[in-house]
Structure 1
Amino acid sequence: MSGPTWLTLGRGCAAALVLLALAIGLSTTYRSPDAARAAGKPTFRPATYAKQTYEPKVVPAIKKNAVAVTTLHKAITADAAAAGKRYGHRSGTGPYSYAVTVTGTAGSARGGLLRVAVPGLDKARVSVQIGPAVNGTALRDAPGFISFGQFTNQVEYADAATALNAAMKADVLESFDAAGAKGKKVTVVGAVTPLTADVLTVTPVSIEPAS
């Protein structure tokens, strides 16, 4: 092919590229980072989420659906899968979490846990988380209305659980006198994600003298 022909083709390709660039430029909308964030989901703020969710929604749901811990223990011992479907909630294939009520005699507080002796559960270890560290996701998972799909990513999902635990600490544990409760009958309402049927560690939403 002659030199002029190559030159003509080269100019044609260059012109096409210029037209393509102009078309992309005209069809593309440029947004600042702030505008991009505003157009998507708002920034997740754990403290705000807890304020809007813990007391108005989580606490009523747990109190409404709480099953006696003796009933739950019997059900899990008999058939863990059936107990989960009947009384619990879970995300995907994770462990079931339950809303429970516990009435028994408070023991000593050790390692952030208050043992509670529950009549009829002599072989089971029932404890209540009393801080200062409150672990797990039971408060998030037991109510049944909080799911991973409501959050942008796994970090936000985990932060939601931590924020609910923090809200519970401020609402329940800051005023709870574990030493004063020792030897007295208490009623605890809360959430539990059992390790086994015989290890039940409750994250409370209320701790009251038993009536």
Structure 2
Amino acid sequence: MTTTDLVPADRKPAGWLKWLTLGRGCLAALLLLVVVIGLTSTYQSGSEADMQAKPRFDPAEYASKTYASKVAPAIEKNAVDIATLQKAIAASPEAAGERYGHRAGTGPYSYSVALTGMAGTARSGLMPVTVEGLGKARVSVQIGPVVSGTALRDAPGSITFGQFTNQVEYADAATALNTEMKKKVLASFDAAGTDGRKVTVIGAMTPLTGDVLTITPVKIEATP
């Protein structure tokens, strides 16, 4: 006979009471575990975790490393005579793009070009250049202070959207390359002193038609 057997039936703990007592102990242990985890854990949002996993994109640093080492050399190496290119675009924009240009997706083609002509008076950040063999096509060179467009980024064909995290970084890269070019090329360029002189220009362009050709330069040389 056990001690429990000596206790009257109406005084014995019911089965549910034993379960409740055991359950309270488990619940207390579980609550303690939750508190410990909460005190020793650090919450991070998705954006914070991503920022720690990958360094933040620095457009200026990207342009500093890329412009002189890759972009400008590629444009100079692959530059096509602008008169040859203009005739090809006039004949078949698509064929000209496939042969001479690069583009992202279905956007307009960008080209590396070279030209020699007579510089005119710069206005509104553009220097007109008269080039023989272009007929009525107008050629202008961006000389700042504002330089717009994505031609420097797109003309080499080696910089793609997939290299960046999002569209903002992709756009910032183009702007930063323009800024770097201004420091390397336009900072020392004398537009007023070039007026009426023969110039040779190498650069990039993204023309929407073959009649208006706006060049973003990587090299400008004026005849003494």
TM bucket normalised to smaller: 0.7 to 0.9
Q: Any idea what the Cα deviations from partners look like across 1:56-98, whole Å, max 9, x if unmatched?
A: 1001000000000001101000110000000000011110000
Aligned to 1:165: 178
Matched residue, 2:11: none
Partner of 1:82: 95
- Separation of aligned partners in 1, 2:83 and 2:213: 11
Counterparts of 1:190-201 in structure 2, within 5 Å, are 190-201=203-214
SS at match of 2:175: helix
TM-score (norm 2): 0.79
Q: Tell me what 1:123 maps to.
A: 136
RMSD over aligned Cα, in angstroms?
A: 2.9
The answer on 1:152 being equivalent to 2:152 is no
Counterpart-to-counterpart distance in 2, 1:35 and 1:155: 18
Identical aligned pairs, as a percentage?
63
- The aligned residue for residue 74 of structure 2 is 61
Per-residue deviation, 1:210: 4.8
8 Å CA contact 1:129–1:201 kept in 2: the answer is yes
1:108 aligns to what SS in structure 2? Answer: coil
Question: Matches of 1:96 and 1:45 in 2, distance apart?
Answer: 27
**1:103 is the counterpart of 2:116:** yes
Distance 1:144 1:210 in 2: 31
User: Which runs of no fewer than 5 residues in structure 1 stay unpaired?
Assistant: none
TM-score between both structures, scaled by the size of structure 1 = 0.84
Greater gyration radius: 2
**Structure with the larger strand share:** 1
Correspondence for 2:5: none
Q: 1:112 to 1:35 in 2, by over 3 A?
A: closer
Equivalent-residue separation in structure 2 for 1:199 and 1:175 (angstroms): 26
Amino acid at match of 2:128: R
Choose which of 60, 64, 76 in structure 2 pairs with 1:51: 64
- Contact 1:103/1:210 (<8 A) preserved: no
Distance 1:45 1:83 in 2: 35
